[in-house]
């Protein structure tokens, strides 16, 4: 982690923040990564845990996150074929920041209830 460097070089970090939100600013991307932080999952189980997402949007986001190198896709030949998803090293490196976001939301955003 280089957050000390970020505090000093705000221009480069603003640019990096834009890059971070090109991924995380798309609906569900952050929640999908946060869900995979708990372990490897198949498509159906991932969809069940990301409450409210549709099949098509989940499929689209997984392609984007795989293309960005944040999620790995593991296909085991069947039958039946088994496809599972897990965080790559780059995706796993995001987990501490996701925990910081969760903690912030718990303390600073009102619950829907």
Residue 30's closest CA among 107, 99, 110, 80?
99
3 near its own copies, judged by CB under 8 A: yes
Instruction: Between 22 and 82, name the residue whose CB sits nearer to its own copies.
Output: 22
Separation CA 86–CA 98 (nearest Å) = 16
Handedness of CA 20, 93, 38, 87 (dihedral sign): positive
List the interface residues with its own copies, window 19-78 (CB under 8 A). 19-31, 34-35, 38, 49, 51, 68-70
98 near its own copies, judged by CB under 8 A: yes
Q: Which of 48, 56, 80, 97 binds its own copies (CB under 8 A)?
A: 97
Q: Which of 44, 59, 63, 103 binds its own copies (CB under 8 A)?
A: 103
Evaluate whether 65 touches 27 at the Cβ level (below 8 Å): no
């Amino acid at each position: 982690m280089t957050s000390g460097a970020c505090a000093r070089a705000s221009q480069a970090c603003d640019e990096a923040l834009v890059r971070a939100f090109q991924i995380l600013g798309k609906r569900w991307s952050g929640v999908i990564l946060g869900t995979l932080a708990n372990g490897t999952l198949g498509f159906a189980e991932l969809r069940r845990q990301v409450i409210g997402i549709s099949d098509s949007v989940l499929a689209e986001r997984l392609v984007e996150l795989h293309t960005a190198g944040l999620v790995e896709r593991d296909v085991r030949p069947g039958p039946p074929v088994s496809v599972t998803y897990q965080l790559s090293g780059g995706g796993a490196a995001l987990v501490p920041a996701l925990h910081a976001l969760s903690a912030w939301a718990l303390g600073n955003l009102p619950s829907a209830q």
